């Protein structure tokens, strides 16, 4: 095998927490091969771009970043450029890479992250073979000219084209267990509980890039969380595109052992000693059960926070989005959640300018936002994704109308967030400290149970501890306070 030991790597991640966590796994795999992390991409021998295709600007940023790698390729003979993630799953993107980005060495998908080290070894071996052949042809001079030279760039790009590996699977029937992960924080971790999505919201590319829903066995999840807690983790965020449709089959399934649903999993996790906080992401309103709402009140460690994407306040638009719930159903869920946990914090995702959205539909979104009083919201301009049904709808909303509605929505959301955050002034909240915002800073930040971001004066050694903080200021996106 070709050695990867000592090679420096840097991962550039676009997109959601699922991608963040995949990048943690990729880092874990590379460290296991003896590679080292490079903080600065300029120092790296291997760069991995973990891509997102949820909206068009993610596409654009990816191709921009890819362009920059060409320069790095010209400077380092052994440099390896890798692309993975949701964009790698799309045929037209792979074609673009094949045709226009000859300096990309390796493309792998969302279903074969576990194969990455093996594929890297294969690329290295193929390059050695290629260089030897070149040598035999008397091309040695070309290869050995100094760093940065044009000929070297041409050679290494030529070698990339010859030795490139593109390995992507459409879907995968099984889940690979036991992968390492290099966590960003010692005290908190992401844990995947399921992969893929079966919902096919008409705007969304995810079901095409992440495949069908697959749930991990409950025993595997529990073991992973127990191990994490032994390693100092106090908060886990359970990840899945739609965690409410988790269906975990016990490994030793006998006739009296039923499939676990998401609430069963929450109750079992709640019993793990040392685990102080459970969060999850993302919930689909159509699958939120009353049992799960009850669990918010009953489970010691389940945080009083929910991210519940509404997407639109108009039942007519929701129907065309294939969301399978109405405005009324959503508002009823919020009512029940607040009844179970009066101070629960709620965030959401909203898409503006979905095809056919009228001013009246948009007004319904604004009024729903005011009624729910979201603590925070992620707002998106509708972006047609090739291959999704909505991209083909004839009644696309003009760009200027989308932008104008978007600005009004952001203004409304910010007003609500700021007002809600002001209500915290004078209150004392428990914050799990993450550490200084910037290296060497005397301000530490962390999150409340309700996922509010809090800044307060402190020191690095506070990271991973629960600190009581008295709130002195409520801003639009965060709170400020003093530890007591």
Give me the residues that bind ligand SF4 (CB under 6 A), please: 197, 199-201, 204, 206-207, 241-242, 284
> Does residue number 55 form part of the binding site for ligand 5AD (CB under 6 A)?
yes
242 binds, options ligand SF4, ligand 5AD, none, Cβ within 5 to 8 A by partner type: ligand SF4
CB closer to ligand SF4, 240 vs 464: 240
Which ranges constitute the DSSP H helices of 164-205?
Answer: none
> Does residue number 330 form part of the binding site for ligand 5AD (CB under 6 A)?
no
Per the structure block, which two tokens stand in for 69? 């790698």
Is the CB of residue 191 less than 8 Å from the CB of residue 224?
A: yes
**Bridge partners, 192 (sequence order):** 239
* Dihedral sign of CA atoms 88, 93, 99, 101 in order: negative
Of 124, 310, 281, whose CA–CA distance to 191 is shortest? 281
CB closer to ligand 5AD, 23 vs 282: 282
Task: State the Cα–Cα distance between residues 62 and 72, nearest whole angstrom.
Answer: 16
Per the structure block, which two tokens stand in for 395? 């009644």
Give me the least distance between CB of 285 and ligand 5AD, in Å please. Answer: 11
Of these, 218, 304, 309, 464, which contacts ligand 5AD (CB under 6 A)?
Answer: 309
Helix (H) / strand (E) containing 220 = helix 218-230
* Range 196-215, binding ligand 5AD (CB under 6 A): 203-204
Centre a 10 Å sphere on the Cβ of residue 414 and count the other Cβ atoms it contains: 15
Give me the least distance between CB of 413 and ligand SF4, in Å please. Answer: 19
CB closer to ligand 5AD, 187 vs 385: 385
Give me the least distance between CB of 241 and ligand SF4, in Å please. Answer: 4
Beta strands in 112-262 (DSSP E): 165-167, 188-192, 194-195, 214-215, 235-239, 247-248, 260-261
CB closer to ligand SF4, 315 vs 476: 315
Binding part of the chain for ligand 5AD, among 102-110, 296-304, 379-387, 455-463 by CB under 6 A, reads 379-387
CB closer to ligand SF4, 200 vs 477: 200
Is the CB of residue 80 less than 8 Å from the CB of residue 45?
A: yes
284 binds, options ligand 5AD, ligand SF4, none, Cβ within 5 to 8 A by partner type: ligand SF4
Is the CB of residue 109 less than 8 Å from the CB of residue 89?
A: yes
CB closer to ligand 5AD, 93 vs 433: 93
Give me the least distance between CB of 18 and ligand SF4, in Å please. Answer: 9
Binding part of the chain for ligand 5AD, among 164-172, 316-324, 377-385, 458-466 by CB under 6 A, reads 377-385
Q: State the pairing for strand pair 46-51/80-85.
A: parallel
Exposed/middle/buried for residue 279 (C-beta within 10 Å: 0-12, 13-18, 19+): buried
Task: State the Cα–Cα distance between residues 227 and 322, nearest whole angstrom.
Answer: 39
Is the CB of residue 227 less than 8 Å from the CB of residue 181?
A: no
> Does residue number 382 form part of the binding site for ligand 5AD (CB under 6 A)?
yes
Binding part of the chain for ligand 5AD, among 19-27, 91-99, 286-294, 375-383 by CB under 6 A, reads 375-383
330 binds, options ligand SF4, ligand 5AD, none, Cβ within 5 to 8 A by partner type: none
> Does residue number 311 form part of the binding site for ligand 5AD (CB under 6 A)?
yes
HEC per residue, 100-146: HCCCCCEEECCCCHHHHHHHHHHHHHHHHHHHHHHHHCCCHHHHHCC
333 binds, options ligand SF4, ligand 5AD, none, Cβ within 5 to 8 A by partner type: none
**Cis omega (within 30 of 0) on the bond before 282?**
yes
207 binds, options ligand 5AD, ligand SF4, none, Cβ within 5 to 8 A by partner type: ligand SF4
55 binds, options ligand 5AD, ligand SF4, none, Cβ within 5 to 8 A by partner type: ligand 5AD
**Bridge partners, 345 (sequence order):** 305
Of these, 192, 202, 383, 421, which contacts ligand 5AD (CB under 6 A)?
Answer: 383
CB closer to ligand SF4, 212 vs 300: 212
CB closer to ligand 5AD, 264 vs 349: 349
Is the CB of residue 53 less than 8 Å from the CB of residue 94?
A: no
* Range 335-364, binding ligand 5AD (CB under 6 A): 349, 351
Residues that bind ligand 5AD (CB under 6 A): 54-55, 203-204, 309, 311, 349, 351, 380, 382-383, 385
């Amino acid at each position: 095998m070709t050695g990867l030991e000592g090679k420096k790597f840097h991962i550039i991640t676009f997109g959601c927490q699922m991608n963040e966590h995949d990048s943690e796994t990729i880092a874990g795999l590379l460290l296991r091969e003896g590679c080292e992390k490079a903080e600065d991409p300029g120092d790296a021998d291997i760069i991995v771009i973990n891509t997102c295709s949820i909206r068009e600007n993610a596409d654009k940023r990816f191709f921009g970043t890819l362009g920059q790698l060409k320069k790095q390729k010209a400077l380092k003979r052994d440099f390896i450029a890798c692309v993975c993630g949701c964009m790698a799953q799309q045929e037209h993107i792979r074609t673009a890479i094949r045709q226009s980005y000859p300096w990309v060495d390796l493309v792998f998908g969302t279903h074969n992250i576990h194969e990455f080290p093996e594929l890297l070894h294969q690329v290295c071996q193929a390059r050695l073979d290629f260089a030897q052949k070149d040598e035999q042809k008397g091309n040695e001079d070309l290869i050995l000219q100094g760093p940065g030279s044009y000929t070297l760039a041409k050679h290494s790009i030529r070698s990339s084209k010859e030795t490139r590996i593109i390995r992507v699977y459409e879907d995968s029937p099984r889940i690979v267990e036991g992968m390492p992960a290099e966590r960003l924080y010692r005290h908190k971790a992401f844990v995947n509980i399921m992969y893929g999505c079966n919902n096919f919201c008409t705007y969304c590319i995810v079901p095409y890039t992440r495949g069908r829903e697959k749930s991990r066995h409950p025993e595997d999840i529990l073991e992973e969380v127990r191990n994490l807690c032994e390693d100092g983790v106090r908060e886990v965020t359970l990840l899945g595109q739609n965690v409410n449709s988790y269906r975990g089959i016990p490994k030793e399934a006998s006739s009296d052992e039923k499939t676990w649903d998401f609430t069963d999993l929450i109750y079992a996790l709640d019993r793990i000693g040392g685990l102080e906080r459970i969060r999850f992401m993302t919930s689909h309103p159509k699958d939120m059960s009353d049992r799960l709402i009850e669990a918010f009140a009953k489970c010691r460690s389940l945080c009083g926070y929910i991210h519940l994407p509404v997407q639109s306040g108009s039942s007519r638009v929701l129907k065309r989005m294939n969301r399978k719930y109405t405005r009324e159903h959503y508002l009823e869920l919020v009512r029940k959640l607040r009844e179970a946990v009066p101070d629960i914090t709620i965030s959401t995702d909203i898409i503006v300018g979905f095809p056919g959205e009228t001013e009246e539909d948009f007004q319904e979104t604004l009024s729903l936002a005011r009624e729910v009083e979201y603590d925070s919201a992620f707002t998106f301009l509708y972006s047609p994704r090739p291959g999704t049904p909505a991209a083909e709808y004839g009644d696309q909303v003009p760009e200027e109308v989308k932008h104008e509605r978007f600005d009004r929505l952001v203004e409304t959301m910010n007003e609500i967030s700021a007002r809600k955050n002001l209500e915290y002034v004078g209150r004392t909240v428990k914050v799990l400290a993450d550490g200084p915002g910037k290296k060497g800073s005397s301000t530490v930040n962390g999150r409340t149970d309700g996922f509010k971001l809090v800044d307060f004066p402190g020191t690095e050694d506070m990271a991973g501890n629960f600190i009581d903080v008295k709130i002195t200021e409520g801003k639009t996106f965060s709170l400020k306070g003093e530890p007591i």
